[in-house]
Amino acid sequence: MAWLQENGALVLMGMVFLFLMLRGPLLAHYYRIGSMSVHELSQRLAASPSPLLIDVRTPAEYAGGHVREARSYPLGSLGSKVEEVKKAARDKEVVVICRTGNRSLMGSVTLKRHGMQKVYNVPGGMMHWEGQGYPVKRG
């Protein structure tokens, strides 16, 4: 017990760190959010029907470079735009992308909470998309 009293702050910090590290995978599992690689996304965008691609980054980030087919729905306003997204998606898969895959996971959770079923997150996001040499539209 003395050890815990002496190291309680360190234990608490470790628990918080562990929670933050596991939060994404836990949310993805709980909400049954699929994962789509940038390679698979590229193939799906070239196919018919192509998925609806949602970019949840800020308008400035989006303008700095985005996947040509992506529609901008910043994460901060996505909750109020869900009906618009549902209308645009119809029966299509919805793929959510951001810079690294963290905000897009939160956006995916928002869509799933509002009843959307076929929702996928892109781990690695635009950093991975650009890093793999896929085309980016500026502006």
Domain boundaries, the chain: 1-30, 32-131
* Residue corresponding to tokens 């698979």: 40
Architecture of the domain whose range is 32-131? 3-Layer(aba) Sandwich (3.40)
Report the pLDDT averaged over residues 73-85.
97
Q: Is the dihedral of CA 114, 92, 137, 108 positive or negative?
A: positive
* 13-47 tens-digit pLDDT: 766 655 555 555 767 767 789 999 999 999 999 99
Structure tokens at 125: 């996001």
Q: 73 is written with which tokens?
A: 């729905």
Please provide the average confidence, as pLDDT, over all residues in the chain.
Answer: 90
pLDDT tier for residue 7 given thresholds of 50, 70 and 90: confident
Share of the chain above pLDDT 90, in %: 76
Q: Tell me the per-residue pLDDT of 94-107, one tens digit each, with 9 for 90 and over.
A: 999 999 999 999 99
List the catalytic residues.
98
In one letter, which amino acid is 131?
G
- pLDDT value of position 9: 76
Q: List the structure tokens of 79.
A: 């909750």
> Going by DSSP bridges, is the β-strand pair 71-72/94-97 parallel, antiparallel, or unpaired?
unpaired
Q: With 60 as the cut, is the pLDDT of residue 89 above it? A: yes
